[in-house]
Amino acid sequence: MIEIRFHGRGGQGAVVASNMLADAAFREGKHVQAFPFFGVERRGAPVSSFTRINDTPIKIRSQVYTPDYVIVLDSTLIDITDVTSGLKKNGIIIINTDKKPSDFNLSFKVATIDATSIALDNKLGSKMAPIVNTSILGAFAKVSGIVSLESIILAIKESDISKKEDNIKAAEMAYQKTVM
């Protein structure tokens, strides 16, 4: 079973991203589960959400404590949240930042993507609060190989988010630009 934990701020789309990732994996015949950390989220407050992907039905219903992947939608969270908590030894952390992986002093494999710029280029969200979830999913597809970019695109198409074409473009751009 693959477990993914998303860290974001309320409004960035972490919960939608975890759902959309589950949807993409479901389209590849996987069993999936996605859920928010059960908080009372507000815009800007740190939030987390989870996705589980498995070949067989998923029975477990607890939160994710030892993820295989951590996805950070906002690099400022690294200073205030223990984002790598429980991350498996060979786990990967994907960070939305304009920095390089080597700029982070972490004992895990780090992948970086400037999802904020991509979101702004594609006019997703506002300048102060760009919505980076679809970009980050493009990065996840590239880094993990667990789901294909095609499935992510399909999940975006079938979702009820607005600006689908722009979101697809953002996912594709992020897929190209992710560095590890």
Partner 1 sequence: MVKKIMTGNLAAAWGAKISRAEVIAAYPITPQTIIVEKLAKFISDGELNAEYLRVESEHSAMAACIATSQTGARTFTATSSQGLALMHEMLHWASGARTPIVMANVNRALAPPWNIWADHTDMMSQRDTGWIQFYAESNQEVLDTIINCYKLCEDRAIQLPAMVGLDAFYLSHTSEIVDIPDQDIADKFLPPYKAFYPLDVEHPLSVGSLAMPHQWYSEFRYKIYKSMEKVIPKLNKIEKEFNKEFGRNYTGSLDLYQVEDAEIILVAVGTVAGTVKDTVDYLRSKGLKVGVIRLRLFRPFPSEELIKALKNASFVGVLDRSFSFGNEGQIFSELKASLYQTNRDPLIKDFIVGIGGRDITTDTVKKIYENCQKCLKNKKIDQEIEWTNIKV
Q: Which residues bind partner 1 (CB under 8 A)?
A: 18-19, 22-23, 26, 31-36, 38, 40, 58-63, 65
Residue placing its CB nearer to partner 1 in the complex, 43 or 99: 43
Min CB(163)–partner 1 separation in Å: 21
CB 7 within 8 A of CB 15: no
Check: CB of residue 95 under 8 Å from CB of residue 111. yes
- Cβ 86 to partner 1, closest distance in Å? 11
Backbone conformation region of residue 171, classed left if phi is above 0, alpha if psi is from -120 to 50, else beta: alpha
Tell me if 19 sits within 8 A of 1, measured CB to CB: no
| Minimum CB distance to partner 1, residue 57 (Å) | 9
Minimum CB distance to partner 1, residue 147 (Å): 13
Nearer to partner 1, 49 or 122 (CB): 49
Residue 117 C-alpha from the chain's centroid = 16
Of the pair 39, 176, the CB lying nearest partner 1 is at 39
Compare residues 32 and 143 and give the one whose CB is closer to partner 1: 32
Contact 126, 164 (CB under 8 A): no
Beta strands in 13-103 (DSSP E): 31-36, 46-54, 69-72, 92-96
